Structure 1
């Protein structure tokens, strides 16, 4: 199955085009069918190679478990058979393996034999909140307890109320070993808190998400020509020389995160009742800057930029493309009628279709070489369904919010 690309000046926007909508929904179903093979007999999740066979196990990371729960809640909403089995498995694995019964909180990586990485990371904990919120939307019997538990941990251990932001990392027994502060965990905290607000109606989640967004989108982005600094010191000053884990904390700025945070800013604005102010303009500025900086001559988005916007790491990964699709869908849903939004939406899908989507087996190739062929330098196999599944489904649900709640409207 391949995407049939209509001319860019076609009168019908793709979000309203039944053929495009059916195609995206079909890709979502093929992704879910591919990742079904992740589920192990013991209830854990394997990472899969490009053909869908399990890779050697090296500890199941917290973001893998939680993203699988969230993704299969979306799968359940569109009627994917067996989705409940993967949701149940993920919830049990969180409870029985990741949950630290000695010190509280959730361990970053575990396997059948025990703990393989004991760190307590805000990045992982906010994904526990996302999994809990999604599972609660699906009516899972353990979801409310999980949400209450992780909410307490986030509030007591990670939340810096003076700054209105989340601290990043602790040892297993909650000792501070690092002064690092980062944008990535805070960005995903917004995603999780908005999901928690949508399912519970508890305004504290919306308020905290707004504080995080204000720091990055009303203070940092305008001060840096609408690029988002990733790395900060303990007192939340930009640390332009920081370079850490190349997957989670690369040097410079990450334009894919500007796309992601722009979409989340619009979602927050929508959930808050679309108040007067410049939130839509801020979102557009971040999104358009990221696309202008990072789109490469042969297509695809560069992974990182230097602080002034020049390309640093030109490697092309799948997730910035998926976030670009979600960002452009959000701008189109604003109803401003800008032709450039439609053109970008189609351009991103065209690149995904021709380079990232594995039409033969399902799932998306995560990484491309300079010639546009799948390669494994940073990522092994197909490590993740979460980004690409949301790219398929978010454009199809009405409005800017309530993705999990509204995905069920697509099942027919």
Structure 2
């Protein structure tokens, strides 16, 4: 397997055609336009199909993702996003912050700022780290203080040294932990740790990101490259977890195709970060990344006769939830770009182009903006798992990664900040 030089250092467009890159870059700007609609008085809200704010509590993870997305917009040269970045920093330092116990509330009332769900969730706190690190890159007021606090909270409460992962969630006062460990927050903690490492230079974040990534790769390798998602507090897998609620948006039963694709890209970013510091590129991480992507494609793409990736499969690779989620397709394109960049295998570039055509045909909403978040198994708009369009994060990152030909390290905000001009 040939490993290309563009993976770790300079940006490289790979083999994705220039016209496709231009199309993705234009879509990134369209997504940013849509994201501006999510601003509320106290943070960022959940948007509906037409870009209207839905009457829902404000979610920490959405405010963090939108703050991070606003930074990416600012770093692409759109100065109007500075105000949105500062709005997000303010919301995270005031509205969502638990002054009494520390950390950040999961949801708050948009009108009163009273906590609706005061629990402390690893998934959302990973995005606090990501948003904070991005705002530091952008040099915004209060960003460094936000990052310092987020790092301290995560270190004190969420990092689970004995299991090389993170605790799932706690009660508001941190006295009770949930009797469950999940891989979804681990994945986003890896993403956040890479970003924090880029900002602080502290090796511990890269080392922990690598440890978590290698552990997930080992588990997947033992299961024909399908990742176990759910565990008890002793670290034992729970293969039947949520069998009765298979379409859960955050903890679905079975193997989650999109997560295999997302992990594939993250493994390569871990390797690229190491290589950028002068280490030899780790072929083991590359092989694991390729195996994860290959399995996800063979299990997930058009496996039931229609184009699109199914959401989940059982442990033999049979489809369970056949809905097509926008974020899965986004992570597929990003993974194909990353694997193609590292291996120089043209098939991945061809897949990225094919999947982009699918996105333009079925997922991108040219009339109302953003992407349709869910389709049924006939590629018609659906809302069984997701209501509206709460999230531009997956699509925006993918469009910038491929459209701007970004490297796999450093992470998004740092990479954009180092672009010429």
| TM-score, length-scaled by structure 1 | 0.92
- Report the 3-state secondary structure (helix = DSSP H, G, I; strand = E; otherwise coil) of the residue aligned with 1:98: coil
1:145 is aligned to 145
1:213 is aligned to 213
In 2: Cα distance, 1:392 partner to 1:203 partner? 29
Aligned counterparts, 1:151-190, within 5 A: 151-190=151-190
In the TM superposition, residue 411 of structure 1 has moved relative to its aligned partner by 8.8
Q: What do residues 42-75 of structure 1 show as CA deviations (whole Å, max 9, x unaligned)?
A: 242222222112211x211111010011111111
In the TM superposition, residue 17 of structure 1 has moved relative to its aligned partner by 3.1
1:350 is aligned to 357
- Report the 3-state secondary structure (helix = DSSP H, G, I; strand = E; otherwise coil) of the residue aligned with 1:99: coil
In 1: Cα distance, 2:354 partner to 2:405 partner? 20
In 2: Cα distance, 1:185 partner to 1:318 partner? 19
1:6 is aligned to none
Quick check: 2:311–2:321 contact (8 Å CA) kept in 1?
yes
In the TM superposition, residue 329 of structure 1 has moved relative to its aligned partner by 0.6
Structure 1 residues 157 and 70: CA distance shift in structure 2, 3 A: same
In 2: Cα distance, 1:323 partner to 1:224 partner? 21
- Report the 3-state secondary structure (helix = DSSP H, G, I; strand = E; otherwise coil) of the residue aligned with 2:210: helix
In 2: Cα distance, 1:15 partner to 1:369 partner? 31
- Report the 3-state secondary structure (helix = DSSP H, G, I; strand = E; otherwise coil) of the residue aligned with 1:162: helix
Listed as ranges, the gaps of 5+ residues in structure 1 are 1-12
Listed as ranges, the gaps of 5+ residues in structure 2 are 1-12
In the TM superposition, residue 89 of structure 1 has moved relative to its aligned partner by 1.0
Q: Does 1:391 align with 2:386?
A: no
Q: How many residues align?
A: 396
In 2: Cα distance, 1:357 partner to 1:59 partner? 26
In the TM superposition, residue 370 of structure 1 has moved relative to its aligned partner by 3.1
1:279 pairs, out of 282, 285, 292, with 285
Quick check: 1:363–1:385 contact (8 Å CA) kept in 2?
yes
Aligned counterparts, 1:372-387, within 5 A: 372-387=379-394
CA RMSD for the aligned pairs? 1.7
Higher normalized contact order (CA 8 Å, seq sep 6+, divided by chain length): 2
Q: What do residues 210-244 of structure 1 show as CA deviations (whole Å, max 9, x unaligned)?
A: 11112101x20111001101001111111111116
Quick check: 2:255–2:314 contact (8 Å CA) kept in 1?
yes
In 1: Cα distance, 2:91 partner to 2:301 partner? 39
2:327 pairs, out of 315, 319, 322, with 319
Aligned counterparts, 1:281-300, within 5 A: 281-296=287-302, 297-300=305-308
In the TM superposition, residue 154 of structure 1 has moved relative to its aligned partner by 1.1
1:239 is aligned to 238
Query: Which has the higher mean CA deviation after the structures are superposed, 346-355 or 43-52?
Result: 43-52
Quick check: 2:15–2:346 contact (8 Å CA) kept in 1?
no
Quick check: 2:322–2:376 contact (8 Å CA) kept in 1?
no
Quick check: 1:179–1:234 contact (8 Å CA) kept in 2?
yes
Structure 1 residues 411 and 23: CA distance shift in structure 2, 3 A: farther
Structure 1 residues 276 and 115: CA distance shift in structure 2, 3 A: closer
In 1: Cα distance, 2:331 partner to 2:382 partner? 21
2:314 pairs, out of 306, 316, 320, with 306
In 1: Cα distance, 2:15 partner to 2:83 partner? 31
In the TM superposition, residue 81 of structure 1 has moved relative to its aligned partner by 4.2
- Report the 3-state secondary structure (helix = DSSP H, G, I; strand = E; otherwise coil) of the residue aligned with 2:116: strand
1:407 is aligned to 416
Quick check: 2:268–2:338 contact (8 Å CA) kept in 1?
yes
- Report the 3-state secondary structure (helix = DSSP H, G, I; strand = E; otherwise coil) of the residue aligned with 2:115: strand
In the TM superposition, residue 387 of structure 1 has moved relative to its aligned partner by 0.5
Quick check: 1:27–1:362 contact (8 Å CA) kept in 2?
no
Quick check: 1:77–1:411 contact (8 Å CA) kept in 2?
no
Quick check: 1:118–1:172 contact (8 Å CA) kept in 2?
yes
Structure 1 residues 14 and 373: CA distance shift in structure 2, 3 A: farther
In 1: Cα distance, 2:399 partner to 2:379 partner? 22
